[in-house]
C-alpha cells in the first residue's frame, strides 16, 4: 500500500537554527499538508499546498515557515529560525482530490523536532 514518508524521524536543533523537514507524498496525490502536534496536545493544521502554491495556512504558519515542492516527489517544510516552542511532532499528509476525498488525508509517520 502506498504511504507518505518523512525524514528525518527525529531532528534536534538549537534555537535560531534553520531546519528543513522532508516528506514524500503518495505519488499520484495532488494536495499536500503539514500539521504539527505539540506533546500531549491536539493535531494542528499548518498549511495546505496545491498546484505549487499555498491553498490555506493557519495563524501558526508565520513568516518563519515556508513550504516548497522542489521536484516531482518531495514536499518540504522549512523553519527559518527555530524557537523552543517549535518543538513538536510534524506530520506531512497528502490527498488525491478535494471534492472526492477531502477528508481522506494520508499522514506520514512524523518528524519529531526538538529545539534546545
Partner 1 sequence: LAKTTQPISMDSYEGQEVNITCSHNNIATNDYITWYQQFPSQGPRFIIQGYKTKVTNEVASLFIPADRKSSTLSLPRVSLSDTAVYYCLVGDKSSAAAGNKLTFGGGTRVLVKP
Give the interface with partner 1 as residue ranges (CB under 8 A). Answer: 4, 31, 33, 35, 42-45, 48, 55-56, 58, 89, 91, 93, 95, 98-99, 102-110, 112
Shortest Cβ 38–partner 1 spacing (Å): 12
Start-to-end CA span in the chain (Å): 37
Greatest extent of the chain over all pairs of C-alpha atoms, in Å: 42
Q: Which is nearer to partner 1, 42 or 53 (CB)?
A: 42
For the beta carbon of residue 14, count every other beta carbon within 10 angstroms: 8
Closer by beta carbon to partner 1, 12 or else 15: 12
**Smaller CB separation from partner 1, 14 or 103:** 103
78 is written with which cell numbers? 522549512
Least distance to partner 1 from the beta carbon of 25, Å? 12
Closer CB to partner 1, residue 7 or residue 58? 58
Among 18, 38, 29, which residue's Cα sits nearest to residue 110?
A: 38
Cα angle 83, 61, 110; round to 5 = 75
Amino acid at each position: 500500500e502506498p504511504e507518505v514518508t518523512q525524514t528525518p524521524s527525529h531532528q534536534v536543533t538549537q534555537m535560531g537554527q534553520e531546519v528543513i523537514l522532508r516528506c514524500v507524498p503518495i505519488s499520484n496525490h495532488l494536495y499536500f499538508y503539514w500539521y504539527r502536534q505539540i506533546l500531549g496536545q491536539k493535531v494542528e493544521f499548518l498549511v495546505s499546498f496545491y498546484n505549487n502554491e499555498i491553498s490555506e495556512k493557519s495563524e501558526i504558519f508565520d513568516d518563519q515557515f515556508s513550504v516548497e515542492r522542489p521536484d516531482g516527489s518531495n514536499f518540504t517544510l522549512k523553519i527559518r529560525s527555530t524557537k523552543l516552542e517549535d518543538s513538536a511532532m510534524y506530520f506531512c499528509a497528502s490527498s488525491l482530490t478535494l471534492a472526492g476525498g477531502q477528508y481522506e488525508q494520508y499522514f506520514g509517520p512524523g518528524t519529531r523536532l526538538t529545539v534546545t
